[in-house]
């Protein structure tokens, strides 16, 4: 079945460098630096990446960061907790906008 | 308990079938081509420092990733005569380390004799131990025996939690492994000031590469101490080799091509210098000689004019022999590299 998302496309990510190698190289250098061990370990950064992948709902990122988390030694429980963090922040983001709803409703109501 | 590929009459029990599949890794360049492109082909030994004896395929476990296809249903065992030929060959060399593996090597009736003889020859001895064998009733004095002979224990423990460990090694294995580790600690293994060495081996529980060795070692050290008060010396990360039962898992789960691609993408020429085949000679239960335990399981005997039987053991000729390589070798050359001594880089 034809689909917008194909797993094999993840392997073609570097094709994005074809029409602008300079920007691609800058992005790659930045990306590598971000995920290198710093104050946070590589394992912790992969878990953050996994949570963000779910928040932005990117199937490529979910695929890549699930593998990355396993390869950094994380287990299913830790990865599930990370996804719940993304879920809680997204859910909270929706809920906190309820304050805006309340502000508008209060202003309009008698 | 799960049976071996051989007992199930799986097509993968035949090395010819494994080699046929390994010869078609789907878009992945042949290992020899990658080696040649990096100026590393052909590969040669750099002098033997490890005399690795695989005493047979009998094991009390049937792990899902086993490259030996070992299990309780296997009967191949090194005889006393072959064990004696091994020790005779060893005595004619100054190879410092004897590495005894299997199967569960301790189940071979000649295991203790091999340990005693190797130690009498002044060699360092390593036992590749699955831990649970230390809890098998006839073997309950095994820990004391190993400690008495100052044998380094290389113990398999793929994770510090039961779920992952049992998924790879069988139901109930984790709890028994913890019991065995506690017993080894009580005997003095990995205790401060003790010269009894207890190293752990991590294999990924699935179709992915191992974490950075130093990081996962720190994780294991923290978690095993916190949860069970267990100490160990070092943790070695090993890559799962795409042969035998792990190959069966890869094929059954549709992971084979992606895994081979993952290994090939992670090919690291810098790891090649430290490949274990370059400093190891692997001896089969029947006395045949191989470049490594993986080649042994694929039936690839030492080639290119090198001696092929322990009765012809000639350390000078073996020290610089040419090594047989194939696509499975990506497993040892991926990322930071993988060897019986853990990550290479």
Residue B163 contacts A, CB cutoff 8 Å: yes
Residue A103 contacts B, CB cutoff 8 Å: no
pLDDT for A7: 85
Q: pLDDT of B280-309, one tens digit each?
A: 999 999 999 999 999 999 999 998 999 999
Cβ–Cβ of B211/A72 closer than 8 Å? yes
**Closest residue in B to A42 (Cα–Cα):** B215
Confidence band, pLDDT 50/70/90 cuts, at residue A98: very high
Q: Alpha-carbon distance B232 to B217, whole Å? A: 10
pLDDT for A84: 98
Residue B212 contacts A, CB cutoff 8 Å: yes
How far off is chain B from A14, nearest CA to CA, in Å? 14
Q: Which two tokens stand for residue B45?
A: 């030994």
How far off is chain A from B101, nearest CA to CA, in Å? 26
How far off is chain A from B212, nearest CA to CA, in Å? 7
Q: pLDDT of A2-44, one tens digit each?
A: 888 888 898 899 999 999 999 999 999 999 999 999 999 999 9
pLDDT for B338: 84
Check pLDDT > 90 for residue B1.
no
Q: Alpha-carbon distance A62 to A86, whole Å? A: 12
Beta-sheet pairing, B50-54 with B97-101? parallel
Check pLDDT > 80 for residue B219.
yes
Confidence band, pLDDT 50/70/90 cuts, at residue A103: very high
Residue A70 contacts B, CB cutoff 8 Å: yes
Contact B25, B257 (CB under 8 A): yes
Q: pLDDT of B98-155, one tens digit each?
A: 999 999 999 999 999 999 999 999 999 999 999 999 999 888 899 999 999 999 999 9
Cβ–Cβ of B215/A72 closer than 8 Å? yes
Q: Alpha-carbon distance B207 to B242, whole Å? A: 9
> Using CB atoms, which residue from A41, A70, A75 is nearest to B208?
A70
Q: Which two tokens stand for residue B239?
A: 């890559």
Q: Alpha-carbon distance B5 to A94, whole Å? A: 53
> Using CB atoms, which residue from B163, B219, B261 is nearest to A73?
B219
What is each CA distance from A14 to A10, A24, A69, A76, in whole angstroms? 9, 8, 22, 29
Determine the average pLDDT of the residues in B182-203: 97
Q: pLDDT of B29-83, one tens digit each?
A: 999 999 999 999 999 999 999 999 999 999 999 999 999 999 999 999 999 999 9
pLDDT for A62: 96
Check pLDDT > 80 for residue B203.
yes
How far off is chain A from B238, nearest CA to CA, in Å? 12
Contact B203, B173 (CB under 8 A): no
Could you report the predicted ipTM of this complex, rounded to two decimals? Answer: 0.78
Cβ–Cβ of A72/B163 closer than 8 Å? no
Residue A41 contacts B, CB cutoff 8 Å: yes
pLDDT-above-70 percentage for chain B: 100
pLDDT for B27: 82
pLDDT for A1: 67
Cβ–Cβ of A75/B219 closer than 8 Å? no
Give contacts of B266 with chain A, Cβ < 8 Å. none
């Amino acid at each position: 079945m034809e689909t917008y998302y194909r797993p094999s496309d993840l392997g073609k990510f570097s094709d994005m460098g074809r029409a602008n190698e300079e920007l691609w190289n800058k992005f790659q250098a930045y990306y590598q630096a971000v995920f290198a061990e710093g104050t946070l370990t590589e394992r912790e950064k992969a878990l953050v990446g996994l949570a963000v992948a779910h928040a932005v709902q990117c199937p490529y990122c979910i695929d890549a960061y699930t593998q990355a988390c396993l390869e950094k030694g994380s287990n299913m429980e830790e990865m599930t907790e990370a996804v719940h963090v993304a879920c809680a922040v997204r859910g909270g983001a929706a809920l906190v906008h309820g304050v805006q709803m309340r502000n508008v409703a209060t202003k309009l109501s008698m | 308990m799960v049976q071996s590929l051989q007992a199930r009459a799986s097509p993968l029990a035949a090395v010819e079938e494994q080699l046929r599949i390994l010869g078609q890794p789907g878009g992945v360049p042949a290992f020899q081509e990658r080696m040649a492109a990096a100026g590393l082909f052909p590969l040669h030994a750099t002098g033997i420092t490890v005399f690795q004896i695989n005493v047979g395929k009998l094991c009390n476990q049937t792990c899902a990733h086993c490259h030996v296809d070992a299990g309780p249903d296997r009967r191949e065992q090194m005889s006393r005569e072959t064990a004696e030929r091994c020790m005779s060959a060893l005595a004619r060399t100054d190879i410092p380390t004897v590495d005894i593996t299997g199967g569960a090597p301790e189940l071979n009736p000649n295991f203790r004799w091999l340990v005693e003889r190797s130690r009498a020859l002044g060699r360092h001895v390593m036992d590749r131990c699955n831990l649970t064998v230390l809890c098998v009733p006839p073997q309950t004095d095994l820990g004391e025996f190993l400690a008495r002979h100052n044998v380094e224990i290389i113990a398999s423990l793929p994770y510090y939690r039961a779920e992952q460990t049992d998924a790879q090694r069988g139901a109930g294995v984790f709890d028994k492994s913890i019991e065995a580790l506690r017993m080894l600690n009580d005997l003095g293994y990995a205790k401060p000031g003790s010269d009894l060495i207890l190293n752990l081996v991590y294999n990924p529980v699935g179709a992915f590469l191992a974490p950075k060795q130093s990081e996962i070692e720190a994780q294991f050290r923290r978690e095993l101490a916190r949860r069970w008060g267990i100490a160990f010396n070092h943790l070695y990360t090993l890559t799962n080799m795409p042969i035998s039962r792990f190959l069966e898992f890869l094929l059954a789960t549709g992971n084979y091509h992606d895994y081979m691609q993952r290994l090939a993408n992670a090919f690291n020429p810098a790891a090649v210098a430290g490949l274990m085949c370059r400093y190891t000679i692997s001896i089969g239960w029947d006395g045949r000689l191989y470049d490594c335990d993986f080649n042994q399981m694929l039936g690839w005997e030492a080639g290119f004019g090198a001696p092929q039987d322990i009765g012809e053991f000639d350390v000078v000729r073996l020290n610089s022999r040419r090594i047989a390589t194939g696509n499975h070798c990506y497993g040892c050359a991926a990322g930071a590299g993988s060897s019986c001594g853990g990550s290479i880089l």
